[in-house]
Chain A
Amino acid sequence: MEENTPSSSGPTAPVIRAVKLRHPWRNLIAVVLIVYAVAFIYDAIAHKPAFRWDVYVKYLFDQRLSAAALVTIELTVYSMILAIILALILAVMRLSSNRVLTSIAWLYVWIFRGTPVYVQLVLWGLLAVIYPTIGVGLPFLPPITEFQTNGALTYFELAVIGLGLNEAAYLAEIVRAGIISVDRGQEEAATALGMSWSQTILRIIIPQSMRVIIPPTGNEFIGMLKTTSLVSAVPFAGELYGVGRDISSAIFAPVPLLLAVSTWYLAVTSVFMIGQYFLERRFARGVGEARGTKISKSDLARAQLSASETGAATQRFNNDQKDS
């Protein structure tokens, strides 16, 4: 035992300075990739007139495009809000013990996830054809009030409904996975404290499931941003892709406008990604920190202290007893 203890006798060994391992193939591949990338960019700028970079630069900050970007963001945000609300309801229905509710939620996901969003958007555009009037009332009885479908909803609103209802099917599965990921003991602890079902869901389960829900929802947000380019099916044409296409068909320059539109999509996506980063950090409270950060020296010192603190705690507790 004695000879194994790291004793301080004798000088410390010198720090190792070894020759670093070389990676010749890795370096070669990197160089080749860089050369090809540079050649591609040079070729695109110098030898491909169809790109028409002058038009790209001119229209990138065109007011029509920036206004259309705002419409795209509105479409995305509104339809995601609608989708999140629906998804929460669907997920809770899926997890309920009522078989009818479970089946309805399952059927919803089956239909809206199983058919193309483009087709759904076309159908929403035809809503007024299918249902000229919509009545409010009890089933099998004459409606209490009735209103004309045609004109009641704008194409923008129909697009939001179409996108939101489709997205809800995907989000419902994400929310369900998030709720399931929370340890059952959490629900039990809350129940044992006398908390109600809604308090348990809202205060204990949902905040913890957010850690699982947010990363894929961020993905869905970004996916939705791009899916809005399909709303021409409704037909609605005020968003980025629609406006870009209108301009390009007027000036016969499809490529530069597609690139300008893509640049806008990239910019908005990047902003969403920043937002996602902060949301994830917020909901990683108590968990992410412990996993993300390495154990620091002060943590180790604290861990060692806590062993001795055990005795101190007991001592303090016993004193407490004597006092009372």
Chain B
Amino acid sequence: MNDPTVPMVEADRVSKSFGSNLVLKDITLKVNAGEVLCIVGPSGSGKSTFLRCINHLETVNAGRLRVDGTLVGYKEKGDKLYELKPKEAARQRRDIGMVFQRFNLFPHMTALENVIEAPIRVNKKSKAAATGRATELLARVGLADKAGSYPAHLSGGQQQRVAIARALAMDPKLMLFDEPTSALDPELVGEVLDVMKGLAKDGMTMIVVTHEMGFAREVADELVFMDGGVVVESGDPRTVLANPQHERTKAFLSKVL
């Protein structure tokens, strides 16, 4: 399906500002299909904003951001850019799964209903087909027996695993994780990371904003350290974590490692 020569995500001097506040400055990076990129950095460094730009939850102000070769958020005709219609933007988002720090499960729906909602409403799957696939996915994240539970009755770790199943139900070609374990009690972090490791092993392309350096070291193909809206340092996670080159990276890592 994917042309291996086209990177899954390609950011070319991407900038984003809220009013006069520049939160992303000339971000240039590339993620190939099947790769896992971990983004680390202090809070307010723009990592989450960058993630949200990839999904067009935020609109970039400068530069070009492409997912699987397609420009995100705009249409390019000649030398002019046109904003996307809501329908076109929704179509782009369909192929990109997103997992949030606060899970954002729909509280009025059971775990199963959470997972089948978008396949039925957006992909127009039949309820039976969507339920079959959702049951598979819930089993895959170890929650087959929780299909009928409401989010409020699940632990944080279980909720986040349902959220991952919900994103996978749309058969995404790219998964974005926005600090998926930051809101979890320490003893629940492992179960979520295990699911993510399994996904990576299966060849899912993933961009993970995280503070879990162990996960980055073990799973990531590339690590990016961001601070103040710029990419300060990037490279092989084992190298960057063991031997950071930049002062700011050293300072940050000395606090979190």
Contact = CB atoms under 8 A, between A and B. Distances in A.
A191 B158 CA distance: 22
B141 A286 contact: no
B142 interface: yes
Main secondary structure of the interface of B (DSSP, over half): helix
Given A193-B122, A286-B107, A316 B93 contact: no
A194 interface: yes
B201 A321 contact: yes
Contacts of A287: 107-108, 150, 152
A201 to B, nearest CB: 12
Interface string B137-180: 00111110000001111010110010000110010000000000
Contact of B195 (A286, A303, A306, A317): A317
Contacts of A290: 150, 152-153
A98 interface: no
A313 B155 CA distance: 14
A96 interface: no
A46 B246 CA distance: 95
A193 B55 CA distance: 10
Interface in A242-298: 283, 285-287, 289-290
B57 A204 contact: no
A283 B109 CA distance: 11
B132 interface: no
B107 A195 contact: no
Interface residues of B, number: 49
B245 interface: no
Closest 9 CB pairs of A and B: A313-B142, A194-B94, A286-B150, A290-B152, A189-B104, A193-B118, A185-B104, A192-B98, A310-B191
A208 B151 CA distance: 13
A251 B228 CA distance: 85
B91 interface: yes
A203 interface: yes
B44 interface: no
Contact of B100 (A185, A314, A321): A185
Interface size class on chain A is: 35 or more
16 contacts: A189-B98, A192-B98, A193-B93, A193-B166, A193-B167, A194-B94, A204-B106, A207-B108, A208-B107, A285-B108, A286-B109, A286-B150, A286-B151, A310-B191, A313-B194, A317-B195
A208 B102 contact: no
Contacts of B97: 192
Contacts of B118: 193-195
Contacts of B102: 183, 185
A286 B108 CA distance: 5
Interface in A145-199: 183, 185-186, 188-197, 199
A311 B105 CA distance: 23
B142 A312 contact: yes
A320 B197 CA distance: 13
Contacts of B157: 310
A307 interface: yes
A9 interface: no
User: Which interface residue of A185, A309, A310, A320 has the most chain B CB atoms within 10 A?
Assistant: A310
B235 interface: no
B194 A317 contact: yes
A310 B192 CA distance: 9
A317 B86 contact: no
A320 B140 contact: yes
Given A185-B100, A194-B90, A317-B194, A306 B152 contact: no
Interface string B114-137: 000110011000000000000000
